[in-house]
Amino acid sequence: MSGVSRYWTRFVIWIGRDPTPLRRVQEYLDWSRGRPLHIYILRRFDLRWRTLCMRLLQSSSLPRPRVDLVGRAKRLETLCLDSVVDDLVGSTETAPSLAGRFDTPALKNLSMCGVHFHESYVKLYPALAMPPQLAFLTITNYNSHNTAFPLIDLLACLLTCRSLCGLELNNLHLDCSYTGPSIRPMHPPYWHVNVDFVDIGGDVVAEYRRLLRHPFPEFTSYTRCLTPTPPGTAHPPTYRTKLEDIKTATLAETTPDPMAGPQDEAAPIWLCPNLQTLKIAGCTQFRSADLRAMLEARRAMHEATGFVEFGDPQFVVSSVRTLFVDDCCELASEDKEWLHANVPNVGWDDWMGGYEADL
């Protein structure tokens, strides 16, 4: 298999002490047979690593922090343990029987499969602390063939990461049965972490929102996520939201009654109530009339409450002030007229309009 480069795409050439022989470099280039390679040229001068990245065929072949990776890596800043095929099944032990210390005081970027992260970090919390400088964390592929572990346990250990600013949860099978109160970080600053949800169920997203009732993150994204019922519970408050490959209707699935007051039991749950700017690209599953109906209902409610801003006790929902639509559907003439008269700034494919456009 060493002679077939499709089984290996990365080639490390060592220089300095004990360098890679030039003959071996020539052999690997010959074996690649024109296939592209990732070539890393590193100098071997000590054992203090800043970056350790592994991408193997099967996740079961990856080393486990605190089990296979032990000791002190005081200069390690990036650790990526990735695979092409996820074949891991988590153990039923409460904690790994061979757990040891893996001290990474400078670790900022960590990317791991869900089973190993659960085994190496979640199960061992609070006996062993999370990396103190961790800033970006990606957890992938904890599939349904594994017993779901509680979302509350995952968040409990993450809330101790005082430097965390970016989190990606990708295809995780989590238990949302906890019904207790929301949780708080142990120390300020509070939870401002930007979150990417990828292939995550709506129940997990909704429970994430319920458990973390803290100041809004700057950015939250959703890719191939499902929307729970009621739909308004799907999205935690955030200043900027991105939705991509969402198969369920999320922005215009209801036509709210603009006369329903904020205390009306039948009043709808407004999605992203303080939405100011909306950008839609490459979505062909709606008509311009559908989008206009949603925007018109929001504006009618905003007008009914005196156009008060977010933070006012009477605030219910805001009007959209900026709209961009690209490569989606045809803009009907009557919808174009309404948008031009009621939305300050509009861009729809090649047309630019809105009542502030003429100012």
Per-residue pLDDT tens over the stretch 250-299: 445 444 444 444 444 445 567 778 888 999 998 888 999 999 999 999 99
Say if residues 83 and 55 touch (Cβ distance below 8 Å). yes
| Residue 166 included in any domain | no
Q: Are strands 38-44 and 10-16 parallel, antiparallel or unpaired?
A: parallel
| Residue 149 included in any domain | no
| Residue 334 included in any domain | yes
| Residue 170 included in any domain | no
- Residue 260 is predicted with a pLDDT of 45
Which of 149, 143, 202 is closest to 172 using CA atoms? 143
Choose between 225 and 158: higher pLDDT: 158
Q: Which of 241-245, 305-309, 312-316 has the lowest mean pLDDT?
A: 241-245
Query: Which two three-digit tokens encode residue 225?
Result: 């996520």
| Residue 342 included in any domain | yes
Choose between 51 and 335: higher pLDDT: 335
| Residue 104 included in any domain | no
Residue 126, CA distances (Å) to 106, 132, 137, 158, 178 in order: 20, 13, 18, 11, 19
Structural domain that includes position 301: 254-359
Average pLDDT, the chain: 83
- pLDDT tens digit sequence for 118-128: 999 999 999 89
| Residue 201 included in any domain | no
- Residue 325 is predicted with a pLDDT of 96
Query: What domain count does the chain have?
Result: 2
| Residue 281 included in any domain | yes
Percent over 90 (pLDDT), the chain: 43
- Residue 93 is predicted with a pLDDT of 67
- Residue 265 is predicted with a pLDDT of 46
The enclosing H or E element of 56 equals: strand 51-58
29 phi/psi in degrees, rounded to 5: -65, -35
